[in-house]
Structure 1
Amino acid sequence: MSASLRNASLRQLAFLAGGLVALICMALLTLSSLREWGLRHEALKAAEVDVANIAQSLVQHADDSFELADSLVIGLVHRLETDGIGPGAIQRLRDDIDLRKGTMGRVRALFVYDAAGRWLATTESVNPALFNNSDREYFKQHRASLDKGLLIGSPIRSRSGGQWVITASRRFDHPDGSFAGVVLATIDASYFADFYKRFDLGTTGTITLIEKSGIILARSVDNETSVGRDVSSTPLIREMDARRPAGLYYFRSPFDQTLRLSFYRLSDRFPLLILATEAKDEVLAPWRQEAMIRMALVLGLVTLIAGTGIYLVRQLLKGQRIAAVLAANEADFRLLAEESSDMVMRIGLDERIIYVSPSCIRLLGWSAAQLRETHALAGVNGEDLPRVRQTVRALKQGEVEETRLVYRTRQREGGEIWLETALRATRDPETGKVNGVVAISRDMTAHKDLEQKLATLAIKDGLTGLANRRHFDDMLQQEWRRAGRDGTSVSLLMMDVDNFKKFNDQYGHQAGDSCLKTVAKAIAAEARRPGDLAARYGGEEFVLLLPNADEVGCALVAERIRQSLETLNLAHALNLPTKRVTLSIGGATTWPNAETQGNHPLLIAAADRALYVAKHAGRDRFVMSGQVVAWRGAESA
């Protein structure tokens, strides 16, 4: 070959080498940018999960608070409508309200007003004769409306204490149905604000309790100036009817104009909305700081590679062998693997590790030297091993080029972690045949743990640990369809704690919660078979699903539950005649078929009717739907 041709060839090779170096630098910058964007997305997702969990929990807290207030109000309404508002009845009511002062928990005060708005009784230490509340908006609404339901009003300044309070009220009537007055419970707006401050949402995060119409009831930041503010014109409130009951929401705050990441959750029981927010800039601040450091390293590495490429091009123009260029590039690529936080492995066709990056000691606890030449699948969990082995075999045989797996593997300390591994087959550049597999792994344990926790929250009742209503409904449908296919029976027990409201009034709500937990434990103990399911149906009501059980089996289980409570002998002085905690139980059994495939609510209705009969026949007994069951107190529904 002539010198000119050789020089042209070298120049062409130099241009190709320069283009390759430029492409590598661009690829590194692109991949680094994509990775940073992914980490940014992960930071936002983590914050979204945090605010979602907080909003879900605080909706339950708000529901419990107003349910407590409503239970106190309902009790007074019932008493006033039964005893009237004569002087003697009102004096007894005042004495009873005075006794409640120390047992109302988060409820600040109770008030009773007559039809003219005069104060008849209150837990506040003021002279009732000095006040009249007929001008309050909630009073006007109750006077004008026959609706006896709970009304949660807009926040107002208390006349007795001067602080912002949230009202929960019901009207009560004279025997002829005419308006007799209002019973009111108040909760300090500052109670919610102080409770919300316990949650860490960063220095500028906020939690806001909003009435569905758009009036702020409480806020963790600047509560005194925020309460009562109307935000109904904001897109969230304005478009709420078209939105889902819960969801993510990015918006610019009308308070400080900060762009916020938030999660809203509507209450299922009350016209309430919880909005938990974090400032988006604050969420991304740690990522930005780390990203600048990582990008500086990448730019340094790109500069190094570019400098190396220029050097190699010069060496090519001087006639150096191309092998030197390939070796330098190989060194650069190895440097990338060494700097990566993910674990990079090169696996041979014999499934032994040829190379592993230093990140392995952080993920698995073993050094690269200890793992080299060991079997790549040695630590994989036995349940996941067949799936992983099949995937690796497909890669080695050229059936797939790349794939991704999530599986468990053993650590040096003896525990297990979840790994997400991207696998790609490598080929010999000369023959094109598969000569191994490259695996890039990252730790997914925290992500898996979070998935498990969210799955548990979705099916468990927070107080008793039993299945919740939603999970029970799903399982009943499944067992109904299975029984219809197999021609077997399905039985259901519905149970209600007798006089539970009196128990709460007598012993307090903490004791009531403890009582429900004990009853739930006794019921759960009878869910002995794999298909049996004990659930909290709502309030003090429980259900026990008994697949493949007939009437006799259903009755035996009910009797064991009743005997268990009798053995526990939980004191309940107002539950006569036993003076202990008892259950009324209704049972039903059916044999589903193709014609009744969607009629599983009929089983609930039958058991509920039987429970109703048990209640009205004297409580502390079991009634089987459509059949008399021969044990103490049992009757036919």
Structure 2
Amino acid sequence: MGMVIGLTVLIGLLGSLMLRELTLRQRLLAIVSSREAEFRLLAEASNDMVSRIAFDGTLTYVSPASLRVLGWPPESLVGGNALAGLNPEDRAAVEGVVAALKTGEREEAMIAYRTRHRNTGTVWLESSLSVTRDPKTGRVDGVVAISRDVTEHKQLEGHLSRLATLDSLTGLANRRFLDDRAERELAIARQSRSDVSLLLIDADHFKAFNDHYGHLAGDNCLQQIAAVIQSHATRPSDLAARYGGEEFALLLAETNLAGARVVAERIRSAVQELSIPHVGNSAAPVVTISIGIATAGSQAGWPSLKGLIAQADETLYRAKSDGRNCVGNDLPLHEAPPIQPGQAPPPTAPASQADQTAPR
């Protein structure tokens, strides 16, 4: 929390500096179409890079700040294309704004984008754009751009965003991010009539572990379990999360019950193979986990996220009731007993289907 507050204060200070520069920007834009000499005087005193761009995209003037902002002196840029060095992923957005300015649809705009610095690689710039008009015809004849480097600000924003979505101890996604992602995956599954599975994973007798070995050892244990779970989130759509305390979750999109059980058993086995001593564990002399599974899909239907979590929690309870260190599922116990250590998953789906839904 202290780090988040510190970063927030730092962003606030940067904002104050930006406000001071914005005042100068506004003065520049106010005289763009009037006194050229005063325009250049202010432009060359600004810490921001000021440039004039002709209607065809050619740079006709660049202020000395270009050396600091882009690593190039003005004379190296004048005559070139204003969009040279623009990151391809940002080109469409920038070109769209420029097109609106050219047609007179917009008089001013502000946009952030990535471009290439001569020495340091990719940097983020934020540019205030304002059209210029021919004094005789009144038609748009170009644009004035006032640009500043916001790379550090973007990095701070990214860091704050990561802090807001990740668990600080394990580096996995936190509960809030899991809930948001699971809601989206359920919506996609309903629309596409596909499967999505959720594993709830609990460290067996973890309170006894903490009481015997201490909280530092407990933190290290949770980190090792988290690393195992993360290693099984092998597809971009998979999401490993810390659910709370000693509980974890793994969201598996486009994965049916059979595929989820295969993944769950692999995780259970890998955690046991860590061989972390646990004298207070009734299931084994080492740290073990119990896993519950819930699957939404064409067979089970697509419940709400709350319903899916409740199903997974129920099957986790069943796994614990059956001695822990095993995998439960979302079918009645008499139809599909939990997977015990070393036991292969039951044939709830053809082998080829299980392979397709959990190619791990």
TM-score range, shorter chain: 0.7 to 0.9
Which residue does 1:495 correspond to in 2?
201
Which residue does 2:251 correspond to in 1?
545
> 1:474 aligns to what SS in structure 2?
helix
Which residue does 2:358 correspond to in 1?
none
1:49-88 mapped onto 2 (5 Å cutoff): 54=2
Counterpart residue identity of residue 599, structure 1: S
Is the Cα contact below 8 Å between 2:283 and 2:325 reproduced in 1?
no
Inter-partner Cα distance in structure 2 for 1:440 and 1:429: 21
Q: CA deviation at 1:598?
A: 6.1
Q: CA deviation at 1:577?
A: 5.1
Which residue does 2:178 correspond to in 1?
472
**Alignment counterpart, residue 431 of structure 1, candidates 132, 137, 157:** 137
Inter-partner Cα distance in structure 2 for 1:330 and 1:494: 67
1:285-304 mapped onto 2 (5 Å cutoff): none
**Alignment counterpart, residue 520 of structure 1, candidates 200, 223, 226:** 226
> 2:89 aligns to what SS in structure 1?
coil
Inter-partner Cα distance in structure 2 for 1:479 and 1:338: 52
Q: CA deviation at 1:446?
A: 2.1
1:632 aligns with 2:337: no
Runs of 4+ in 1 over 4 A off after TM superposition: 595-598, 633-636
1:31-67 C-alpha deviation (Å, 9 max, x unpaired): xxxxxxxxxxxxxxxxxxxxxx52867xxxxxxxxxx
1:602 aligns with 2:307: yes
Is the Cα contact below 8 Å between 2:319 and 2:326 reproduced in 1?
yes
Counterpart residue identity of residue 396, structure 1: K
Which residue does 1:448 correspond to in 2?
154
Counterpart residue identity of residue 402, structure 1: E
Moved more, 386-395 or 537-546: 386-395
1:364 aligns with 2:70: yes
Is the Cα contact below 8 Å between 1:483 and 1:592 reproduced in 2?
no
Which residue does 2:239 correspond to in 1?
533
1:305-454 mapped onto 2 (5 Å cutoff): 329-454=35-160
**TM-score w.r.t. structure 1 length?**
0.47
Is the Cα contact below 8 Å between 1:348 and 1:436 reproduced in 2?
yes
1:278-289 mapped onto 2 (5 Å cutoff): none
Q: CA deviation at 1:536?
A: 0.7
Inter-partner Cα distance in structure 1 for 2:189 and 2:75: 58
Inter-partner Cα distance in structure 1 for 2:306 and 2:123: 43
Identity of aligned residues (%): 47
- Residues 486 and 469 of structure 1: CA distance in aligned 2, closer, same or farther (over 3 Å): same
Counterpart residue identity of residue 54, structure 1: G
Aligned length: 327
Is the Cα contact below 8 Å between 1:466 and 1:520 reproduced in 2?
yes
- Residues 434 and 600 of structure 1: CA distance in aligned 2, closer, same or farther (over 3 Å): closer
**Alignment counterpart, residue 587 of structure 1, candidates 293, 299, 303:** 293
Is the Cα contact below 8 Å between 2:51 and 2:63 reproduced in 1?
yes
Is the Cα contact below 8 Å between 1:352 and 1:373 reproduced in 2?
yes
Inter-partner Cα distance in structure 1 for 2:63 and 2:285: 70
Is the Cα contact below 8 Å between 1:586 and 1:624 reproduced in 2?
yes
Moved more, 363-372 or 393-402: 393-402
Q: CA deviation at 1:597?
A: 6.4
1:106-145 mapped onto 2 (5 Å cutoff): none
Inter-partner Cα distance in structure 2 for 1:484 and 1:433: 52
Is the Cα contact below 8 Å between 2:327 and 2:338 reproduced in 1?
no
**Alignment counterpart, residue 277 of structure 2, candidates 537, 557, 571:** 571
**Alignment counterpart, residue 617 of structure 1, candidates 313, 322, 345:** 322
- Residues 335 and 390 of structure 1: CA distance in aligned 2, closer, same or farther (over 3 Å): same
Is the Cα contact below 8 Å between 1:360 and 1:366 reproduced in 2?
yes
Counterpart residue identity of residue 339, structure 1: A
**Alignment counterpart, residue 213 of structure 2, candidates 489, 507, 511:** 507
Is the Cα contact below 8 Å between 2:296 and 2:303 reproduced in 1?
no
Inter-partner Cα distance in structure 2 for 1:393 and 1:478: 34
Inter-partner Cα distance in structure 2 for 1:625 and 1:379: 54
Q: CA deviation at 1:548?
A: 2.1
**TM-score w.r.t. structure 2 length?**
0.81
Is the Cα contact below 8 Å between 1:492 and 1:546 reproduced in 2?
yes
Counterpart residue identity of residue 265, structure 2: E
> 1:589 aligns to what SS in structure 2?
strand
Is the Cα contact below 8 Å between 1:388 and 1:405 reproduced in 2?
yes
> 2:290 aligns to what SS in structure 1?
strand
> 2:316 aligns to what SS in structure 1?
helix
- Residues 458 and 383 of structure 1: CA distance in aligned 2, closer, same or farther (over 3 Å): same
- Residues 592 and 55 of structure 1: CA distance in aligned 2, closer, same or farther (over 3 Å): farther
CA RMSD of aligned residues (A): 3.2
> 2:328 aligns to what SS in structure 1?
strand
Is the Cα contact below 8 Å between 1:493 and 1:588 reproduced in 2?
yes
Inter-partner Cα distance in structure 1 for 2:324 and 2:44: 73
Please tell me whether Structure 1 or Structure 2 has the larger radius of gyration of its CA atoms: 1
Q: CA deviation at 1:397?
A: 3.6
- Residues 55 and 361 of structure 1: CA distance in aligned 2, closer, same or farther (over 3 Å): closer
Inter-partner Cα distance in structure 2 for 1:457 and 1:581: 29
Counterpart residue identity of residue 580, structure 1: V
Q: CA deviation at 1:364?
A: 0.8
Inter-partner Cα distance in structure 1 for 2:165 and 2:276: 28
1:142-181 C-alpha deviation (Å, 9 max, x unpaired): xxxxxxxxxxxxxxxxxxxxxxxxxxxxxxxxxxxxxxxx
Q: Which has the higher contact order (CA 8 A, sep 6+)?
A: 2
> 1:403 aligns to what SS in structure 2?
strand
Is the Cα contact below 8 Å between 2:328 and 2:338 reproduced in 1?
no
**Alignment counterpart, residue 458 of structure 1, candidates 164, 172, 188:** 164
Inter-partner Cα distance in structure 2 for 1:597 and 1:493: 16
> 2:80 aligns to what SS in structure 1?
coil
1:531-589 C-alpha deviation (Å, 9 max, x unpaired): 22111111001111122222211110111101212332222222245211100111122
1:465-512 C-alpha deviation (Å, 9 max, x unpaired): 111111111122212222222222222211111111121122211111
Is the Cα contact below 8 Å between 1:409 and 1:419 reproduced in 2?
yes
- Residues 403 and 555 of structure 1: CA distance in aligned 2, closer, same or farther (over 3 Å): same
Inter-partner Cα distance in structure 1 for 2:4 and 2:150: 24
- Residues 629 and 523 of structure 1: CA distance in aligned 2, closer, same or farther (over 3 Å): farther
Inter-partner Cα distance in structure 2 for 1:494 and 1:577: 18
> 1:416 aligns to what SS in structure 2?
strand
Inter-partner Cα distance in structure 2 for 1:55 and 1:630: 43
Which residue does 1:319 correspond to in 2?
none
Is the Cα contact below 8 Å between 1:480 and 1:592 reproduced in 2?
no
